[in-house]
Amino acid sequence: MNKKEEAGSALPELMKRRSFVARAGMLGMSATAATLFAVSPVRADDREDRNADDRDNRSGDTALEIFTAALIAEDLATTFYYNGLIGAVITDPNLAGTGGTATQTASNGNEGNVEYIRAALSEEIAHANLLRTLIGGKDAGGDPVQTFYMPTGSFDTLAPFTGLLDALENAFIGAYLNATIEFAQMAADTKSGVQRQKDASGKHIPSTALEYYAQVAAAILGVESEHRVLGRVISNTNPANQLTYEQTDGLTSVYNGKTSAVAALTPFLTPGAGKTAYSLQTALEGAPSISLPSTGGLPKPPSSPKDDDR
């Protein structure tokens, strides 16, 4: 059995990438997701919308719902990478090696691979910090989800760890790819006067801001794609960069619907047999001592919006 097959067989069926959407759809996600993601505070429909049937964005997602879903995904990623760095898997020779730690690589370890994970941790935290501001959050203690549930043993050995990494990153990539087009559609709807999105304070979001959100979503997607490939490097799955184009992973929206990112990730928000609970706050408290800072800022924003977009 090669390493790719080993990773696939070690990963519990619930978390295999191609089963995400199908299994989520079987769980009655519309009601479950609404409860877990606390949609009521961020739903921002404009009752003055005109010609609803002419909207380009047919998913039903609002900008605030996308920000909320993305924040929870980034918090999940933060919790995942932190526990990978402190779990038994870190002593694998493809990571820190025998007796090694996140900050001290053993002689038979691979320091570069460890640094991939350390940098990924800081990047996911930075993404979450940005998204939190967009929904009006003040600190991570107020984030909608504080505990995540992952397959027991995910952080014990390399195969389940990298298998779950691949599954999660593919879902994140699919979510941001959908977000990119949805924000572009919202911008088009706003310019045509069909619909106007609202921010966390209830103000209308101008079309140029929505266009910028599409650009930011694409920028984050690029980083999640790096994580996917580097995870494949760690597991020696070659070629690591096997895709000509990144894919939506079967997702058709971010927030609403049975094939949304919310539906796909909801299993990580619910306890159950074969799962272990992991705390977001524990990850955030421990991250400063083991994360590796990343560089670079947000893409340059567009010019100021026109008055008729306000």
Residue 283 lies in a domain: yes
**41: Cβ contacts below 8 Å, ≥ 6 apart:** none
Judged against a pLDDT cut of 60, whether residue 243 lies above it is answered with yes
Question: How does residue 196 score in pLDDT terms, banded at 50, 70 and 90?
Answer: confident
Say how many domains are in the chain. 1
Residue 4 banded pLDDT, cuts 50, 70, 90: very low
What percent of the chain clears pLDDT 90, i.e. is strictly above it? Answer: 75
CA 76 → CA 137, 166, 189, 280, 282, distances in Å?
17, 14, 31, 8, 12
Q: What global pTM score does this model have?
A: 0.86
What is the per-residue pLDDT across 73-103, written as a single tens digit (0 to 9) for each?
999 999 999 999 999 999 999 999 999 999 9
DSSP 3-state assignment of 137? coil
Domain presence at residue 49:
no
Would residue 7 count as lying in a domain? Answer: no
Q: What's the CA gap between 15 and 163, in Å, rounded?
A: 9
Single out the residue of 208, 142, 176, 193 nearest to residue 66, CA to CA: 176
- pLDDT (mean) for 45-51: 50
Q: In the chain, what is the greatest distance between 2 CA atoms, to the nearest angstrom?
A: 65
- Distance (Å, whole) CA 212 – CA 299: 9
**Domain interval for residue 95:** 30-43+61-293
Q: Is residue 163 part of a domain?
A: yes
Placement of tokens 């979001």 in the chain:
205
Q: Which residues have C-beta within 8 Å of that of residue 256, sequence separation ≥ 6? A: 59, 60, 61, 65, 262
Residue 70: phi, psi to the nearest 5? -65, -40
Q: How many CB atoms lie within 10 A of CB 226?
A: 16
Q: Is position 9 within any domain?
A: no
231 in a domain, yes or no? yes
CA distance 92 to 109: 7
Question: What confidence tens digit (pLDDT) does each residue in 135-176 have?
Answer: 999 999 999 999 999 999 999 999 999 999 999 999 999 999
* % of the chain residues with pLDDT over 70: 80
Report pLDDT for 56: 77
Give the confidence band of 48 by pLDDT, cuts at 50, 70, 90: low
Amino acid at 260: S
- Given this model, what pLDDT does residue 127 score? 98
Residue 308 lies in a domain: no
Chain Cα centroid distance, residue 306: 32
107-120 pLDDT tens trace: 999 999 999 999 99
Does residue 310 surpass a pLDDT of 70? no
Beta-carbon contacts of 59 under 8 Å, excluding residues fewer than 6 positions away, are 178, 182, 252, 253, 254, 255, 256, 257, 260
Q: In a 3-state reduction of DSSP, which class is residue 136?
A: coil
Query: Does residue 142 sit within a domain?
Result: yes
Which residues are paired to 150 by β-bridges?
A: 276
Under the banding of pLDDT at 50, 70 and 90, the label for residue 306 is low
